[in-house]
């Protein structure tokens, strides 16, 4: 497999899809409604928030995925349509029905995503005509895709897109994705949305299985403040216009490309963390199991003290090691070592000699920070990504109604 990623202006699109993003009036001026239309009935799979308080769109999508007859996705931003009672479910169904009428299909062939402010009813007098406008203008150009990517954003500072082209034997294809998210990000389908489209031939069962595996090591491994949203979702659409994955090697090549796409998109979310000055990669190795390593990484990623240390460019290794210690995972401190941006600051259970001023300067000058914590000689490994916690984050979220 030869994975490929590139600038969003050079994104390649798989065959079988059309895209649009328009301003419907949910927001004052910005694009706020997107359509992804399938040229023919397509495979669809989804992974959704684990929050018991969830949006109407999540309940709708859970009922109709996995599917082999998906006709498209309609997405609105600026309004989560969550905690809106029976009216919210009726509005969600109307969104699907309006999109279905515009696309020439049945309502249960249309997936729905919403993101934005919780507890407000959708302005359907804006949404309905916006859906029709988006459906009528949908196209298969890169600019159409980028319009859709812009229309799903809320507090994002930049659009999040990527693609991978893959090939193995006589099987080849493209996976292209978009995502949104900058705050209310917790590592259980951390608010975030992502839509992935591919022309690779996939059955609903294969799409569901492969998407869940990819999400588990990507979108489920990011956090900003650890708050799992009501609307989190990752959807995968396959037009199945490419060659089938006949051999194990072809399935593995597709799975690797899908995982890399999800990791790429997932990492862009904490990189856009509201007010963030650092995106922090936390790598754990030497644990007894991958599950243990994941638990340690999650605990460190969610520590406010660890996050604020990076805000201040403080090589405060004690916060990191102690967070690992309360993760609930057994490990031997005498076999534990820690590096920050490649500088060894702790090893064999005690402080290592290092220049705090030099490490601090390194952290201050680099937006990307790396924590590598080895906790033994076991095979367990995990990687998580998070952002630091700044005064700007507090200010932005005190001023923005969520």
C-alpha span between 82 and 180 (Å, rounded): 17
State the Cα torsion 391-397-400-402 to the nearest 10°.
170
Backbone angles phi, psi at 331, to 5 degrees: -155, 165
Beta strands in 200-312, from DSSP E residues, in sequence order: 222-223, 233-238, 279-287
What residues have CB less than 8 Å from 264, skipping those under 6 apart? 5, 162, 177
Residue matched to tokens 């401190």: 333
C-alpha span between 332 and 287 (Å, rounded): 10
Characterize 375-385 residue by residue with b for buried, 16 or more Cβ atoms within 10 angstroms of its Cβ, and e for exposed: bbebebbbbbb
CB atoms within 10 A of CB 398: 7
What residues have CB less than 8 Å from 322, skipping those under 6 apart? none
Helices and strands (H and E) in the chain: how many: 11, 15
Tell me the residue length of the chain.
402
> Would you call 115 helix, strand, or coil by DSSP?
strand
Residue 86 vs residues 18, 142, 183: alpha-carbon distances, Å: 32, 38, 27
Task: State the catalytic residue, choosing from 98, 115, 176, 191.
Answer: 191
What residues have CB less than 8 Å from 179, skipping those under 6 apart? 160, 161, 192, 193, 194, 195, 265, 266, 268, 269
First to last CA, the chain: 42
What residues have CB less than 8 Å from 239, skipping those under 6 apart? 14, 15, 16, 17, 38, 39, 40, 42, 197, 198, 199
> Would you call 256 helix, strand, or coil by DSSP?
helix
Active site residue 386: no
Active site residues per annotation = 191
């Amino acid at each position: 497999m030869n994975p490929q990623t590139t600038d969003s202006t050079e994104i390649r699109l798989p065959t079988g899809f059309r895209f649009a993003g328009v301003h419907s009036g949910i927001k004052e001026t910005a694009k706020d409604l997107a359509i992804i239309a399938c040229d023919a009935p397509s495979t669809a799979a989804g992974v959704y928030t684990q929050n018991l308080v969830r949006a109407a769109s999540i309940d709708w999508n859970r009922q109709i995925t996995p599917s082999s007859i998906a006709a498209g996705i309609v997405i609105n931003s600026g309004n989560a349509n969550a905690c809106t009672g029976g009216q919210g479910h009726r509005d969600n169904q109307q969104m699907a029905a309006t999109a279905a009428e515009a696309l020439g299909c049945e309502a249960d062939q249309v997936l729905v995503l919403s993101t934005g402010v919780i507890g407000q009813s959708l302005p359907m007098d804006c949404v309905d005509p916006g859906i029709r406008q988006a459906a009528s203008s949908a196209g298969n150009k890169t600019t159409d895709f980028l319009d859709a990517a812009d229309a799903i954003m809320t507090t994002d500072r930049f659009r999040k897109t990527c693609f991978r082209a893959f090939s193995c034997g006589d099987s080849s294809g493209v996976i292209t994705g978009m995502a949104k998210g900058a705050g209310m990000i917790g590592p259980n389908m951390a608010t975030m949305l992502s839509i992935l489209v591919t022309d690779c031939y996939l059955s609903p069962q294969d799409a569901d299985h492969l998407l869940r595996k990819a999400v588990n090591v990507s979108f489920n491994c990011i956090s900003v403040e650890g708050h799992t949203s009501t609307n989190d979702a990752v959807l995968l659409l396959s037009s199945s216009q490419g060659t089938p994955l006949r051999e194990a090697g072809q399935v593995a090549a597709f799975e690797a490309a899908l995982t890399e796409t999800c990791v790429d998109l997932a990492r862009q979310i904490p990189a856009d963390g509201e007010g963030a000055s650092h995106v922090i990669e936390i790598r754990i190795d030497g644990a007894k199991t991958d599950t243990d390593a994941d638990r340690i990484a999650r605990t460190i990623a969610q520590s406010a003290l660890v996050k604020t240390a990076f805000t201040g460019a403080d090589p405060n290794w004690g916060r990191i090691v102690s967070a690992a210690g309360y993760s609930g995972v057994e490990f031997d401190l005498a076999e534990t070592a820690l590096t920050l941006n490649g500088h060894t600051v702790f090893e064999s259970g005690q402080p290592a000699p290092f220049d705090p001023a030099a490490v601090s300067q390194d952290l201050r000058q680099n937006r990307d920070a790396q924590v590598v914590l080895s906790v033994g000689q076991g095979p367990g490994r995990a990687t998580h990504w998070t952002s630091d916690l700044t005064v700007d984050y507090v200010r932005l979220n005190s001023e923005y109604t969520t």
